[in-house]
Structure 1
Amino acid sequence: MVNEPNLDEFKIKKTTYKFTQIKKYQPKMHFIIKKSKKKLIDEILELITPKSKTQSVKTTAYLKQKKALDIKILGAGAIIFLVILVLIFSLFGSFSAEQEKPQAQALASFSGDIKYNVIDSGVLSYGGQADHKYQAYIILDKTAQNLSSLKLIAKLYSEDLPKQVFILDYYRDGADTYPEFRKRFQAYMEHYGWVVNDITLEDLKNLPPQSTILILTGYLPKKLLGNEDFPSIVDLAKKGNTIIYLGQPFDKVLNEVGSIEQADAQKVSQLEIKFETKTKLASAENFSLQSPYYAASYQERQPNLIWGSISLINLPNNGYILILPQALDGGWAANPYLAAADIARLVNSQPHILPISVVEKEISLQNQTSRITLFFDPMQTTRAFGRITFKIVDKKNNTKYEFFDWPFYTTTNSDLYVDDSIFVPTYLGGTRKVITLNLNENPLREVKLSYEVYKDGVLLQSFPIEQGLTPTIVTRATPVAFSLEPGEYILKVRDSNGNYYAGAKIKIKELDVDIKGVSTTSGFKEGKFNITFYSQNNTVVVPYVKIYVENKRDAPVKEYKNVEQVFYETPTNFQRGEYTFVFDFGGYIKRITKKYDVSLDLWERTDMQILGLLNIIVFIAIAYALTRPKKELFALDIPDFPFQEYKEIRLKPSQIIEVFEIVNREYRWDRMPLSSSEIKDGFLKLTLDGNPIVIGEYNLEKILDRMVEKNLLKTKFGYWIPTKWVEETYNNQSTKILMYRFLRDIFVNNAIKFSKLKMTEGYDIKILINQTIYYLYIFDHDYSFIKNSILKANETTCWIIFESQEQQQEFLEEISNGTSKAFLLFKLYLNSDKIKLITADSIEEYIKHLKI
């Protein structure tokens, strides 16, 4: 009897084939040379010369004389052509060089360099005693060489981040492209500033926490199911590691010799990871994984997806498992370069760990060495972890990243309360403001304390908190005033031995000066200037200012008191150049440089000189073209394309509604409005005689307009929805569901978490931006939202979304005349920014502003 083969011992190798589509009909060009016995100049002259016998004789005589000049004209034409080339390269050479400069390769050799050193860092107090928070800061010195641009990206996290990457060296299935992938992945990670190492299965047992482990084996190694001597994949993650697994579900595993075998069902169930193959997934966020096979979840929870197809499993001790539901070759169609770029980006960006604050800053390279001060957003905790990344671009336009991790924490138990951190300086009429120091340092002792003011880590001034000694467990309120120049400072409390107790950021109010001419734009020609003083875009009265023009002896020195706008007059003998206006406010000096450009005469302007030269060149070129030697003429013979037959069909309204149902079913939506492109794609799902229905833009527009006219569809914001759905599902509130679809696309494009449309829960939509919840109400001439928004405004900020600026203005006019208690409360919350009015066309810009 013949033994049946053991199918488990066989491996199926998938091969990817690529086909190039060729059109059935391709046009071919046939060239027919038509010989002409006449020169081109003869034909031109025949066209422009009247037909007469006299003129014909003259023309013939002219052509006989011209034959002797043909060679001379040809030589002159060549010289003119060379002159034109020289002029073009001299005028536009720099432009051409810029355009033809090759793009730098992402992994090219890097010629720039940056060195940095942390000067100071810590966690400051923020706000008053009632709303007290904490604020992290860091001060760096940087030295840059051979760089064209430098950007600093600082992110603050509530947990420590992985610091090293390990790739498991084990048998692999479905990974024929792994050698090239490994090489490219190494290069990409070095580009991001990471170090990559290989690790064996046995070494996983002794791996330190805060590591990223890549398991790219296609099937889970058998040992990682776990046993008494070896930790499971879940146990490894619970040590504080991030594991990225690329492969199939755990029902089959790779054994010790690299063969695929059935997994122990009991051990798989103990992992508590469930796989759902019926869930339809699609990669997003420019992640290129194809045909994601399944979604994974932990302990009966719903799958948590990032980038559309990656299943995220959260575990204790800041452990994570990221499951990519495909093998290496199948997931990227055997493209190791694309796979390496995607997985390197996943490791570097850590999308599963959300930062609590992000600060981005373009760094000036005007000076090779400079100091950088960064303040993060306020936070609730006294401890955080920072990742500081430099995006550096060298002179050859190659880009590279370098990063370092930095802890932020408080070192004392004391706080410094500043209710309003913006101080009006004394030279703008500012008075003293009370700040409160709450000391709580054991053991109790008495020390000599002082306030110290720092700018970019440099001590500017110091003054005592009180004349005598201060106990280390006490509360002291001190009135202070400052006469510093505008900017951000750190106020620290230290004792006479230099010991630090508390600190807070303060900001000196900005002061701007606007200089305009009285009768002309600049004012230099007549020597008369209107000068206005601003602070935070509002005019401000300055108690005292002295104004003069630097290095201009005949310019008067004038003093003014208690003014917000002054008229300054000086002699009119200004020459072309730059002039510096000096404003001395009695404690702060501000200099503003203005440029005076004298108008040139027409013949002095360089652009007019170039234009005149080009006119001469064009005239010579035209003259040369009329005397060119004969050219052979060509004609194109292009055959007709084959006729394509189209069949006209009539569609019933029910078939149009069916398209909406098909698209919603495909996207797993519940009666959601559609755009015209989605409706057009939906028609392809309908068939007639076995062929899909193809509809053009014009016909689609006509059909939709007709359906709207018959009240079978509702439309707004470029979306359509069946009227029947609005009546049955959305309580006849078509504006709300159409606006919701419009907002939904904005939320998705900007990676904002949002809820479904919930008109019965006291709000319409709930969104999450930077860990802050916002409640949204869509205006639909139903004023019930006023009461609901007042209630929700006690929790967080509420947004009222209007279709247009005109609709918002009409609403403001209506509530301005309202005298009910609800209207009055609503206006109070509106004035305090707890409720905001936003139009549909401005909400996306506002969201981007909040995410910064």
Structure 2
Amino acid sequence: MAYIAGGAPVRSGIMGRKMLIATAIVVAVGISVLILYFYLSFASILHGNSHVSVKLPVPSIGASIASQDVLSHNSLREIVPYVLLDYASSNVTRISANATLFKYPPPRRAFVLNISNECYDCGDTAAIESAISFGLERYGLILGPGNLSSISPSDVAALPPNSILIILNGLLPSSLLQANGSSISGLTYLLNEHTSIIYVGQDFSRMLLPDSIVTPTPASLRPYYLDTIPHASPASPSGGFYFDSGAFLFAGGTNYSTASYINVYNGSIFMFPNTPNSWPANQSGADIAKAVRGLFWLPKYAYGTSTITLPTAANSQSQLGVVLDSAQAQPGNTFVAAASLSGSIRVSITANATYPAGTSNSTYKYVFAKPVLYQNGTITVQGITIANQSIPVNFTVYTKSSTPINITPSLTIYTTNMSVVQALPLPFIHNVPDNFTFIRSERLPLPPGRQYIMELRNFVGVEYAAALFNVSPITINVTSENLTNDSFMFSALSQKIPITGLNYSISLNNLYPANGTIRNGLIFYYLPKGTPAVHGVLNFTLNVMGSKSYFEEQYYPAPFGINQQYIEISVVAAVMLLMIVLVKAPNRDEFYIDVPNLPEATKIPLTLKPADVVGVFDKLNMQYHWKYMPLTKAEIRSAISTYIKVNNISVALTYDNVDRMVDMLAVNKYLTAADELFAPPQWVDQSKHDIEYLAVFKKLRIYLVTHAYTFTDLDVSQSADVVATLRSEKKYLVIYSKTSNFQKVPIYTGSRTYLVFLNSYRLEEFKDKIYNSTTMEAEELKMYVGAGYLKLVDADDPEETLN
């Protein structure tokens, strides 16, 4: 009893100490967690405050128009305007320029019509005007929020020409539809003064009277151009507008996203077809400001865009060219003279810089100029050329001198930003009359896949003419690979024509660089010895004269294995072999049939006169309504059977007889032949075409008849040797022969010409000839083939090319 009584207090003390220690540990851990939490929170606050306090650099840009030009394009089939900008920027990494050649000067000032007491579902007009002002200030169109002018309905007649009038009344005020002291309404007057009206409201079947009274619009006050048609806005509007609740469109206008506009007299009306209260005030103001900046409703001759990316946001000073190629005009078109007289150029420039965390800052600049478009000559060069291929270039110089003069021309190739790429010396030319033309063949080793400008100037720098052209990109394909010796062969084509003579560098997965020269459209690439085996996705980088191409090839080694079919065949073969060896065939009785000798067929020896055989050529041609068409041996055999008889019995020759007879006649000059087609030699003299020409025509005739073409007969057409028509589509066929009537291949706009060869051998012979020739004629043919205007056809297989 004493032992038990004495042990209880000792155990209780030990448990108390353990509880105390555990409590201390928990408290210490909790304090540590709290300290870490407050530390991280405080650090986060400090970091957040430091981030917020960072002020983004303000981008700035200054720009002016350095020069203007008119560029011939696509072998002088089109001409396009061109604008070159000088710019200086700071804190900018990207510059975009949108140049437009308007038909008349664009608006330079914007006014808001004072709503006064005429309003229909206008919403918070003060907030809308504030949002418009904020947007215009952001786009750099006004200097401050107080510079958006307001004008009362009674003063619209005093609005300066070439202005923008913003109408937020929800319906058109009656004062604009009524004649005020003249025979025309206020609205028509504004449109005659080159005013652009931005209208936000419902259709024009109703109008507003003072005190916001809504009344139907009398037919006498509603001009034709205000006719509308119902139209629901698309579910997902485009064009960058918030507005998506359009209810109607101009009947005779143009749709732009969910909005609509119409050009009337000298002005335009652009409308958001619903009341101002139909979408939030900040969004409606932003949409209107965006429309004012775009001016997309104004009549224009052409427009174009260009973008340049700068490596850093540091100060930069350079040039940026913009080709206005939205609508190419035909040479001789009056738009050059009209644009120079009344047009206007506006360049809208956006300069911005992107910073970490996706933040950006932008600034805007607008440059205006009167068009100065003129030409002192023309350059005719194909629109798409192939790198390092000689092309014919036709130059015409307008000297504007009544007496012959001497000129020292120089030819320079530029990028579209007018950086010199290549200068080509030209010889001194004596006694040049007015409108002097000369032709040269130029080889242009230019980086592929880019656009260039070619300029012809005199020795003091005065421009005669300029042209725009593109160098076609190179298409690279892996044609063979040998992973055993780590070698690859690539084809390098441009417009389906092999590239040759261009230097290149190539690498695999950014490793193992190699250099070389493209020869006959082939690139050979060998990995260094000792390179680890490559497989999977192979990424190649090819650099040709600074123009990089990226392409990939997948290679996965095939697993070693035997096809199941091979195993099955092997088993069957083994079983059959065992059956042959082990299984003996039973004895069998043999029987024989005795067949007596049959008498030979009676053969009658005949002697045919050469004149009789040659005569069947004319008879068969007459029967088929042909003329000078050569015959095959089968046709000759059939004609002899039809037209030559002995004792009133048709002569039936074996094919061996025909072969021997035709060969003898050809050797003795009774027949002439081309590609197993035969004709009397006098046909060559009578038709004035050699046998090869006649043979090609015969092959074409058979193909065209069997494929339901209608076509012109021999020497009938003045446009080509054969003009074939199928489903109203004409095809011009020229036969490759020295006796063709078209020694210079005709090319027709909107159609293709087909140069037809006797057989594939003649076709390949022709290709080797022109692609190894640098004559003007060969270069011109290569140009037409490359541009798709001329197709080469094998008369034995025209199906693929003609269809």
Q: Which string of whole-angstrom CA distances, capped at 9 and with x for unpartnered residues, describes residues 782-823 of structure 1?
A: xxxx958999xx9989xxxxxxxxxxxxxxxxxxxxxxxxxx
Whether the aligned pair in 2 keeps the contact of 1:449 and 1:470 (CA below 8 Å) is no
1:166 to 89, 95, 111: 111
2:352 to 389, 392, 399: 392
Alignment partner, residue 501 of structure 1? 464
Whether the aligned pair in 2 keeps the contact of 1:543 and 1:563 (CA below 8 Å) is no
* Structure 1 residues without counterparts, runs of 5 or longer: 1-57, 550-554, 575-580, 594-785, 798-823, 831-852
Residues 141, 825 of structure 1: CA spacing in aligned structure 2 closer, same or farther, 3 A cutoff? farther
Q: State yes or no: 1:374 paired with 2:354.
A: no
Alignment partner, residue 361 of structure 1? 307
Q: State yes or no: 1:313 paired with 2:262.
A: yes
Q: What TM-score, normalized to structure 2?
A: 0.51
Q: State yes or no: 1:236 paired with 2:181.
A: no
Whether the aligned pair in 2 keeps the contact of 1:435 and 1:478 (CA below 8 Å) is yes
Aligned-pair identity in percent equals 16
Q: State yes or no: 1:444 paired with 2:396.
A: no
Q: Which string of whole-angstrom CA distances, capped at 9 and with x for unpartnered residues, describes residues 327-386 of structure 1?
A: 433x33xx3212212322333334545875543535234364143333343601554655
What's the CA shift for 1:185? 0.8
Superposition pairs of residues 728-739 of structure 1, within 5 angstroms: none
Q: Secondary structure at the match of 2:429?
A: coil
* Structure 2 residues without counterparts, runs of 5 or longer: 1-10, 143-147, 340-344, 508-512, 533-539, 551-725, 732-747, 752-796
Residues 113, 365 of structure 1: CA spacing in aligned structure 2 closer, same or farther, 3 A cutoff? farther
What's the CA shift for 1:103? 14
CA distance in 2, matches of 1:250, 1:565: 68
CA distance in 2, matches of 1:542, 1:499: 35
1:564 to 522, 529, 537: 522
CA distance in 2, matches of 1:568, 1:398: 48
Residues 584, 221 of structure 1: CA spacing in aligned structure 2 closer, same or farther, 3 A cutoff? closer
Whether the aligned pair in 2 keeps the contact of 1:447 and 1:472 (CA below 8 Å) is no
What is the one-letter code of the residue matched to 2:73? Answer: Y
Q: State yes or no: 1:457 paired with 2:418.
A: yes
Q: State yes or no: 1:424 paired with 2:383.
A: no
CA distance in 2, matches of 1:828, 1:309: 46
What is the one-letter code of the residue matched to 1:471? Answer: P
1:191 to 112, 134, 138: 138
Superposition pairs of residues 637-716 of structure 1, within 5 angstroms: none
What's the CA shift for 1:66? 6.4
Residues 68, 363 of structure 1: CA spacing in aligned structure 2 closer, same or farther, 3 A cutoff? same
Whether the aligned pair in 1 keeps the contact of 2:73 and 2:381 (CA below 8 Å) is yes
What's the CA shift for 1:422? 1.7
Q: Which string of whole-angstrom CA distances, capped at 9 and with x for unpartnered residues, describes residues 261-320 of structure 1?
A: 868947504x3355669x464476265658767x575xxxx3546357655333133x22
Q: Which string of whole-angstrom CA distances, capped at 9 and with x for unpartnered residues, describes residues 549-607 of structure 1?
A: 9xxxxx99999987833456769899xxxxxx99999xx689999xxxxxxxxxxxxxx
Whether the aligned pair in 1 keeps the contact of 2:249 and 2:260 (CA below 8 Å) is yes
CA distance in 1, matches of 2:171, 2:32: 73
Residues 143, 291 of structure 1: CA spacing in aligned structure 2 closer, same or farther, 3 A cutoff? closer
What's the CA shift for 1:511? 6.8
Alignment partner, residue 35 of structure 1? none
Q: Secondary structure at the match of 1:478?
A: strand
What's the CA shift for 1:407? 5.6
Q: Which string of whole-angstrom CA distances, capped at 9 and with x for unpartnered residues, describes residues 592-640 of structure 1?
A: 99xxxxxxxxxxxxxxxxxxxxxxxxxxxxxxxxxxxxxxxxxxxxxxx
Q: State yes or no: 1:474 paired with 2:461.
A: no
Q: Which string of whole-angstrom CA distances, capped at 9 and with x for unpartnered residues, describes residues 102-149 of structure 1?
A: 999xxx9982222233333322001225xx101233333433323465
CA RMSD of aligned residues (A): 5.7
Q: Which string of whole-angstrom CA distances, capped at 9 and with x for unpartnered residues, describes residues 27-68 of structure 1?
A: xxxxxxxxxxxxxxxxxxxxxxxxxxxxxxx9xx99984652
Q: Which string of whole-angstrom CA distances, capped at 9 and with x for unpartnered residues, describes residues 166-190 of structure 1?
A: 2223524244622222111101122
What's the CA shift for 1:434? 1.6
Superposition pairs of residues 4-403 of structure 1, within 5 angstroms: 65=18, 68-72=21-25, 75-76=28-29, 79=32, 111-129=58-76, 132-147=77-92, 149-154=94-99, 161-171=106-116, 172-174=118-120, 175=122, 177-195=124-142, 196-201=148-153, 204-224=156-176, 225-229=178-182, 232-247=186-201, 260=213, 265=218, 268-269=221-222, 271-273=223-225, 279=230, 281-282=232-233, 285=237, 295=248, 302=251, 304=253, 306=255, 310=259, 312-317=261-266, 319-329=267-277, 331-332=278-279, 335-353=280-298, 356-359=302-305, 361=307, 363-366=309-312, 368-369=315-316, 370-377=318-325, 379-380=328-329, 383=336, 385=345, 387-390=347-350, 392-393=352-353, 395=355, 396-403=359-366
What's the CA shift for 1:75? 2.8
Alignment partner, residue 672 of structure 1? none
Whether the aligned pair in 1 keeps the contact of 2:92 and 2:351 (CA below 8 Å) is no
Residues 338, 535 of structure 1: CA spacing in aligned structure 2 closer, same or farther, 3 A cutoff? same
CA distance in 2, matches of 1:451, 1:393: 40
Whether the aligned pair in 2 keeps the contact of 1:453 and 1:489 (CA below 8 Å) is no
What's the CA shift for 1:197? 3.0
Residues 207, 451 of structure 1: CA spacing in aligned structure 2 closer, same or farther, 3 A cutoff? farther
CA distance in 1, matches of 2:401, 2:410: 22
2:452 to 486, 489, 509: 489
CA distance in 1, matches of 2:174, 2:245: 25
Q: Secondary structure at the match of 2:292?
A: helix
Looking at CA atoms only, which structure, 1 or 2, has the larger radius of gyration? Answer: 2
What is the one-letter code of the residue matched to 1:468? Answer: H
CA distance in 1, matches of 2:163, 2:83: 25
Whether the aligned pair in 2 keeps the contact of 1:119 and 1:139 (CA below 8 Å) is yes
CA distance in 1, matches of 2:466, 2:170: 53
CA distance in 1, matches of 2:491, 2:261: 55
What is the one-letter code of the residue matched to 2:467? Answer: A
Whether the aligned pair in 2 keeps the contact of 1:125 and 1:135 (CA below 8 Å) is yes
CA distance in 2, matches of 1:475, 1:176: 67
Whether the aligned pair in 2 keeps the contact of 1:112 and 1:394 (CA below 8 Å) is no
Residues 240, 582 of structure 1: CA spacing in aligned structure 2 closer, same or farther, 3 A cutoff? closer
CA distance in 2, matches of 1:145, 1:233: 45
Total equivalences in the alignment: 509
Residues 97, 296 of structure 1: CA spacing in aligned structure 2 closer, same or farther, 3 A cutoff? same
Q: Secondary structure at the match of 1:468?
A: strand
Whether the aligned pair in 1 keeps the contact of 2:169 and 2:200 (CA below 8 Å) is yes
CA distance in 1, matches of 2:296, 2:798: 41
Residues 541, 827 of structure 1: CA spacing in aligned structure 2 closer, same or farther, 3 A cutoff? closer
CA distance in 2, matches of 1:160, 1:133: 25
What's the CA shift for 1:461? 1.9
